[in-house]
Amino acid sequence: MRIDRRTITNQMLGCFMALALMLLLPAASESMTFSGLGMSEGYKGSVAYDISADGSIIVGLQSTPTYAAEAFRWTASSGFAKVGDLPGGETYSIAFGVSGNGSVVAGWSRSGLGEEAFIWTASGGIKGLGDLAGGYTRSYADSVSADGSTVVGYSTSTSGDEAFVWKASTGMVGLGDLPGSDFNSKGTGVSADGSVVVGWSHSSNGQEAFIWKASTGMVGLGDLPGGSFKSVAEDISDNGLAVVGNSLSSNGREAFLWTESGGMIGLGDLAGGSFSSEALSVSADGSTVVGRSTSGNGTEAFVWTEQLGMVSIEELLIAAGVDTTGWGLTEALGVSADGLTIAGKGSNPAGKTEAWVITLDAAPVPLPGAVLLLGAGLCRLAAARRRRSH
Residues 40 and 137 in one domain: yes
DSSP reduced 3-state for 279: strand
DSSP reduced 3-state for 385: helix
Residues 238 and 310 in one domain: yes
Paired residues of 165 in beta bridges: 152, 173
The per-residue pLDDT for 286 is: 98
Residues 261 and 385 in one domain: no
Q: Write the DSSP symbol of residue 66.
A: T
Residues 36 and 166 in one domain: yes
Residues 287 and 388 in one domain: no
CA gap 187, 165 in Å, rounded: 8
The per-residue pLDDT for 113 is: 86
Residue 188: which CATH number?
Answer: 2.120.10.30
CA gap 210, 206 in Å, rounded: 12
- C-beta neighbour count of 170 within 10 angstroms: 9
The per-residue pLDDT for 28 is: 39
Residues 74 and 151 in one domain: yes
Residues 251 and 295 in one domain: yes
DSSP per residue, 74-133: EETTTEEEE----TEEEEEEEEEEE-TTS-EEEEEEEESSSEEEEEEETTTEEEE----S
DSSP reduced 3-state for 6: helix
Residues 360 and 260 in one domain: yes
Residues 68 and 151 in one domain: yes
CA gap 87, 45 in Å, rounded: 24
CA gap 42, 64 in Å, rounded: 7
If one counts the domains in the chain, the total is 2
Residues 45 and 165 in one domain: yes
Residues 188 and 282 in one domain: yes
Domain extent, residue 215, equals 24-364
pLDDT tens for the chain, residues 1 to 390: 333 433 334 444 444 444 444 444 444 345 789 999 999 999 999 999 999 999 999 999 999 998 899 999 999 999 999 999 999 989 999 999 999 999 999 999 999 989 999 999 999 999 999 999 987 889 999 999 999 999 999 999 999 999 999 999 999 999 999 999 999 999 999 999 999 999 999 999 999 999 999 999 999 999 999 989 999 999 999 999 999 999 999 999 999 999 999 999 999 999 998 999 999 999 999 999 999 999 999 999 999 999 999 999 999 999 999 999 999 999 999 999 999 999 999 999 999 999 999 999 774 333 233 333 344 344 434 443 433 333
- Return the amino acid letter for 256: F
Residues 220 and 87 in one domain: yes
